Amino acid sequence: MMDLDLDDVADATAARATTWRAAGAQWTVERSPTTWKKPSVTAVWTTTHHALQLTVWTSGEAELDHLTVSTEVIATVAYDLSSLDDLANLLDDVTHRLTPPHARASPSVRHQIALHGPGPPQRLGDPET
């Protein structure tokens, strides 16, 4: 884990705006009050097919929730960021999830990115286990 500067999260998010716009995504980025015990940045993206919410805390902890609208499946992935490269990889994962399949990188890249998940997703309405 790292002591993450939340400005780095905002800058890294802004740097990907063109790609996300091309994927048809709309998004917002908000910072929590700095007086909170663990300040954070939360970003929310929506497309016709997906909704994602990412929260990144100054501790380097991050959580990404991804709803696939057509299946009503939510996948949650937890990250422990230890460098700015880890943050870049996490935002690459967001980009991958927002990008339509026909516009994605090669299958080998898709496979590598898909390995980040901690387990099977849950359907909406299913009790947490």
Query: 19 lies in a domain?
Result: yes
User: CA-CA distance, 67 to 53, in Å (whole number)?
Assistant: 9
Query: 103 lies in a domain?
Result: yes
Q: What is the pLDDT along the chain (129 residues), one digit of tens a residue?
A: 668 888 898 899 999 999 999 889 999 999 988 788 889 999 999 999 999 999 999 999 999 999 999 999 999 999 999 999 999 999 999 999 998 764 444 443 333 333 334 444 433 343 443
- Asked if residues 102 and 110 have their Cβ atoms less than 8 Å apart, the reply is no
Query: 1 lies in a domain?
Result: no
Query: 92 lies in a domain?
Result: yes
Query: 107 lies in a domain?
Result: yes
For residue 110, the model assigns a pLDDT of: 35
User: CA-CA distance, 58 to 39, in Å (whole number)?
Assistant: 6
Query: 129 lies in a domain?
Result: no
For residue 51, the model assigns a pLDDT of: 94
Residue type, 7: D
Q: What is the total count of domains within the chain? A: 1
Boundaries of domain holding 33: 6-123
Question: For the whole model, what pTM was predicted?
Answer: 0.74
Cα–Cα nearest to 39, from 28, 55, 27: 55
Query: 128 lies in a domain?
Result: no
